[in-house]
Homo-oligomer: A and B are copies of this chain.
């Protein structure tokens, strides 16, 4: 499977917390990163998600927020990946910002140019990638 989602994390399911409509899925990605996803209960059942099952998580670059000078414990996004800016590509309105995490993971974010300027984003600057659990798509290979 190949998708346009720029961010792809492979690993295995660590936990499934069921709800009436939505389930909360925790994926332990290769390298130790934990990704939390909210998907419908119907999807979790259909995919057969259970602890130990191999799976992957997809996150669109446009779902990612970039934070600087922040404290992850003060914001509701369940997924926060700290690192530093690897590259900034500006367009007319939007820019693509890639954040490199210490473990080697790279996270792409689409933000507005105005935010790039306001935050002073440039290669080497410490920054974190934030994304909501509800922005994460879960997939399985078999």
**Partner-B contacts on A (CB < 8 A):** 1-6, 17-24, 36-40, 42-44, 46-47, 58, 60-63, 65-71, 73-78, 89-97, 108-112, 114-116, 118-119, 121, 130, 132-135, 137-142
User: What residues on B are CB-neighbors of A70 within 8 Å?
Assistant: 1-3
A77 to B94: give the CA distance in the assembly, Å.
25
A111 to B132: give the CA distance in the assembly, Å.
19
Q: Are the CB atoms of B61 and A112 closer together than 8 Å?
A: yes
Q: Are the CB atoms of B40 and A133 closer together than 8 Å?
A: yes
User: What residues on B are CB-neighbors of A115 within 8 Å?
Assistant: 3-6
With most chain B CB atoms within 10 A of its CB, the pick from A17, A21, A110, A118 is: A21
Name 17 interchain pairs, CB-CB below 8 A, sorted by A.
Answer: A1-B69, A2-B67, A3-B68, A18-B21, A24-B40, A37-B76, A44-B76, A46-B73, A62-B110, A74-B139, A74-B140, A74-B142, A75-B139, A76-B138, A93-B94, A94-B110, A132-B134
Q: Are the CB atoms of B78 and A43 closer together than 8 Å?
A: yes
A137 to B76: give the CA distance in the assembly, Å.
6
User: What residues on B are CB-neighbors of A93 within 8 Å?
Assistant: 89-91, 94-96, 110
User: What residues on B are CB-neighbors of A19 within 8 Å?
Assistant: 19-22
From B43, B75, B111, B132, give the contact of A4 (CB < 8 A): B111
A67 to B77: give the CA distance in the assembly, Å.
26
